[in-house]
Amino acid sequence: MLEEHYIPYSVAKKYLQEIISNGNSSNLLQRTFDYLNSVSKCGDSGAEQIMEELKDIVKKEELRAMIASLCPQSIDEVRTILATDTSTTYTTEQVQKIIEIVKNHMES
């Protein structure tokens, strides 16, 4: 049985790069790869680490993937992402911790 998971942009980019390098390229795959390459703010291992480190703070996988993809740098940016989770209220300390985790794994 297949499982579905939310993944950050940089992880999707890594998978597409593997597909393209194996000769299974198309115009759509190449354009998607190019787009992901332009918007990725951390490497795939950094994004995976962000996803893992956020598990204790952010329960929803799709929110962790959004944070690891967008790499928010401010309280307002994090709160905008977290606002979609109406079942949980996040403290300022939790939001600060999220920013700290993201900054630790961003590419310079």
Burial of 64 from C-beta contacts in 10 A (0-12 / 13-18 / 19+)? buried
Give the separation between CA 29 and CA 76, rounded to whole angstroms.
33
Domain ranges of the chain: 1-108
Topology at the third CATH level for domain 1-108: Growth Hormone; Chain: A; (1.20.1250)
- What is the reported pTM? 0.90
Chain segment 17-76, per-residue pLDDT in tens: 999 999 988 999 999 999 999 998 889 999 999 999 999 999 999 999 999 999 999 999
